[in-house]
A and B are shown apart, each in its own frame.
Chain A
Amino acid sequence: MSATSFAIETRGVTRVFDSRKGFLFREVSRTEALKGVDLAVEQGAIFGLLGPNGAGKTTLTKILSTLLLPTGGRAFVLGHDVVTDAEWLRPRIGLVLGGERGLYNRISGRENLRYFADLYGLPTAERERRIEEILERVDLSSAADRRVEEYSRGMKQKLHLARGILHRPQVLFLDEPTIGLDPKSARETRKLVRSLVADGVTIFLTTHYMFEAEELCPQLAILSKGRIVARDTVARLRQLVGGDRTLEAEAYGFEDSEVSALRRLPGVSKIIEEEYGPRTRLTLRVRTDEIRPDDVRALLPDHPELEVKERRTSLEDVYLDLVEEEAH
């Protein structure tokens, strides 16, 4: 029986890794990769999980795809517990870990797919037709009978994807699906992901690329040091870090009094100060439309070299702000 109506739900999921060193005198060190993750993903949605290296994204993906047991908490996919109902879940979910590994390199792409089609129990009559269809969908038909070791990184990634969707999973986990791909291949991959959602597949995607998350994921979460630090739509996350608009002022250093003056401007929710060699950049998150670049220039009259730019707050800004806050 389903325990939840969400496609994916986690309740306080934790994961601790013990690593051991030494042979006779074993030394055990513990790493808390996940520290109580709560998430819910609607059926048929694309959900993005962002986070720096080591944040726990792959750990969470592996737990949800039944490849790793959580240390604590519970996780459900399609309403079924990933620990106790793994056998039921495996035919219904797909996993794309990507990268250079994970494929049999000395045999052809088609043979790789045949093997996994059999392991997934695709009916024999359906198998060849489905493989043809998938190869065409990922644009690998012409290379299908070549050895995988002759494939480029992008082609291997496409084969990973093909394997992940071969059995028509209801939920697909994509761990960094476009990492290392050239722009054209990455764009094709994103197009494929969108088409899968149109077919009703729920996608759980981890990525480093902010534009990709912004483009693909209406809902996303930011994971940092094993905790979800924010979870919402991109628009709401912008508000969370201080507003839709960002003003950047750059010069050869600023006085504390100048920064304080900027901080007192109405609508300025946050100022981030960063050093770039001899120059300093002040990044102002602004909640209202009232403040213009000229208002900033007016408060910094002693900087003839001053440059002030206005732009929309990007997901990258949101990400960096939140991850930075978590780090402190």
Chain B
Amino acid sequence: METVANEVSRGRSTVASLRIAILQFLADPQWLIPSMIAPVVFALVSYELFRGSGPYFLTYAILGAGMMSMWGQTLYGSGWATAQDREFGTLEPTIQSPTPYLYVILGRVLWNVLSGLFGGLIVYAVIVVAAGGPPALPDPLGFAILFVFVMLSLASVGVVFAAFYVYTRYAGFIQNIGEFAFYVGTGCMFPVVLLPFWTNPISLVFPPTWGLDALRYLAIPGYRGFGWGFWVDLLGALGTTVAYLAIAGSIFHRVERHVLEEGNLSQY
């Protein structure tokens, strides 16, 4: 019998993974409903929090609520999906297939970015309605492009985190410890410069810290942030994102080797 399997197309595997993530999401209302309701709640809370904080409070509100509704899904969605693979028993057949697991993760990352952006759009719509108009943005197109990039940079950290979920079934424990610290430490809700100075070097290890600071430069005239200017922030975001993707590329192979040594793929 001739094996029909061809050289595996990594792009096709990534698309297949994206497709299955969408199908699973649509098949399960427990995800669909909160992913639409939560952004509405976050938007209203954020709007009330920043109301009266100045002419650009709307942008703060949108960024804060938008990131609140998007970051968890984008950052941890891929890891959760791997944890689900463990629970469903699908991690073994997936690892056993010729597709490197990293490309399965990338498909999920794409879905998480897309669903995160959908949440962001809901936040935007709610705050515009609540405020009676759109926020004052000096460069709306640049802001939108940078916003998508920040989501991708967040996702690049998510790919590295996902490797932990392949590595061990206890990855959720690590995530639970770091979840809120990461959210505050990367400046999702308010600028990192407001935090104690000693926390800043830790924050700078993560791409979203740079990206969010760059976003605020772009959206809020007179914003000072770290004081390095927009382009340094943008370069910092790009550099750290590339670094995270490189780390992901190199550690997945090692992680796979480790789990084959440990034999813990079916444990959950």
Q: Quick one: CB contact mask for A7-20 with B, threshold 8 Å, 1 for yes?
A: 00000000101000
Instruction: List chain A residues, Cβ under 8 A from B266.
Output: 101
> What residues of chain A lie closer than 8 Å to B20, measured between beta carbons?
104, 107, 111, 115
What is the CA–CA distance of A323 and B100 in the complex, to the nearest angstrom? 40
For residue A219, CB closer than 8 A to chain B, the reply is no
Q: Check if B250 is an interface residue, CB within 8 A of chain A.
A: no
A144 interface hit (Cβ, 8 Å): no
* Contact of A170 with B3 in the complex, beta carbons under 8 Å: yes
B85 to chain A, nearest CB (A): 9
Q: How far is the CA of A242 from the CA of B233 in the complex (A)?
A: 81
> Are A119 and B97 in contact (CB-based, < 8 A)?
yes
A201 to B2, CA, bound (A): 10
Chain A's nearest CB lies how many Å from the CB of B87? 8
A-contact bits for B3-30, CB 8 A (1 contact / 0 none)? 1111111001101110110011001100
- With CB as the reference atom, state the residue of chain A lying closest to B99: A119
In the complex, B199 has a CB within 8 A of chain A? no
Which of A120-128, A278-286, A311-319 contacts its partner?
A120-128
Interface hit among A92-100, A246-254, A290-298: A92-100
A200 beta carbon closer than 8 Å to chain B: yes
> How distant is the Cα of A124 from the Cα of B88 in the complex, in angstroms?
27
Closest B residue to A111 using CB positions: B23
Q: Does B93 contact A (CB under 8 A)?
A: yes
Determine if B263 and A104 form an interchain contact, defined as CB atoms under 8 angstroms apart: no
Residue A68 at the chain B interface, CB threshold 8 Å: yes
Q: Is A307 an interface residue (CB 8 A)?
A: no
B141 to chain A, nearest CB (A): 35
The listed residue (A62, A69, A91, A106) touching B28 by CB distance below 8 A is A106
From known contacts A67-B265, A106-B28, infer whether A122 and B96 are also in contact, taking CB-CB under 8 Å. Answer: no
* Residues from chain A with Cβ under 8 Å of B5 in the complex: 91-92, 120-122, 167-168
Picked from A68, A104, A111, the residue with its CB within 8 Å of the CB of B260 is A68
Contact check, A99 vs B93: say whether CB atoms are below 8 A apart.
no
Interface: B95 (CB within 8 A): yes
A47 CB to closest chain B CB (Å) equals: 17
| Residues 230-268 of chain B, each 1 if its beta carbon lies under 8 Å from chain A, else 0 | 000000000000000000000000000100110101100
Contacts of B104 in A (CB 8 A): 119
Residues of A within 8 A of B177 (CB): none
CB B143 to nearest CB in A, in angstroms, measures 36
Within 8 A of B (CB), among A53-110: 59, 62, 65-69, 87, 90-92, 95, 97, 99, 101-107
* Pairwise interchain contact A102-B92, C-beta atoms closer than 8 A: yes
Contacts of B28 in A (CB 8 A): 106
Q: Taking the nearest CB of chain B, how far is it from the CB of A110, in angstroms?
A: 11
Q: Which of A103, A105, A121, A169 has the most CB atoms of chain B within a 10 A radius of its CB?
A: A121
Closest to B91 in A: A102
**From B89, which residue of chain A is reached at the shortest CB distance?**
A101
Q: Tell me the bound Cα distance from A22 to B94 in angstroms.
A: 30
Give chain A residues whose Cβ lies under 8 Å from the Cβ of B96.
Answer: 65-67, 90, 95
Q: How far is the CA of A305 from the CA of B23 in the complex (A)?
A: 67
Whether a CB of chain A sits under 8 angstroms from the CB of B145 is no
Partner of A116, one of B93, B257, B260: B93
Assess whether B27 is in contact with A121, with CB atoms less than 8 Å apart.
no
Chain A residues with CB under 8 Å of B97's CB are 90, 116, 119-120
**Does A147 reach chain B (CB closer than 8 Å)?**
yes
Bound CA span A64–B89, Å: 19
CB distance from B156 to the nearest CB of A (A): 23
Taking the nearest CB of chain B, how far is it from the CB of A226, in angstroms? 14
CA distance A105 to B7 in the complex (A): 28
* Chain B residue at smallest Cβ distance from A105: B88
In the assembled complex, the Cα of A101 lies from the Cα of B93 at a distance in Å of: 11
Q: A87-B98, A104-B24, A170-B1 are in contact. Are A163 and B93 (CB under 8 A)?
A: yes
Considering the chains assembled together, what is the distance between the CA atoms of A104 and B8 in angstroms? 21
CB of A132 within 8 A of chain B? no
A158 within 8 A of B: no
Determine whether the beta carbon of A107 is less than 8 Å from that of B4: no
What 3 pairs between A and B have smallest CB-CB spacing?
A101-B89, A118-B16, A91-B5
Interface set of A (CB-CB < 8 Å, partner B): 15, 17, 59, 62, 65-69, 87, 90-92, 95, 97, 99, 101-107, 111, 114-116, 118-124, 126, 130, 147, 163, 167-170, 199-201
20 inter-chain pairs at a CB distance below 8 angstroms, sorted by A residue, are A59-B263, A67-B96, A68-B263, A69-B257, A90-B96, A90-B97, A90-B98, A95-B92, A97-B92, A101-B89, A102-B92, A104-B24, A119-B97, A120-B98, A121-B8, A122-B5, A168-B3, A168-B4, A169-B3, A201-B1
Task: Please list the residues of chain B having a beta carbon within 8 angstroms of any beta carbon in chain A.
Answer: 1-9, 12-13, 15-17, 19-20, 23-24, 27-28, 88-90, 92-99, 104, 257, 260-261, 263, 265-266
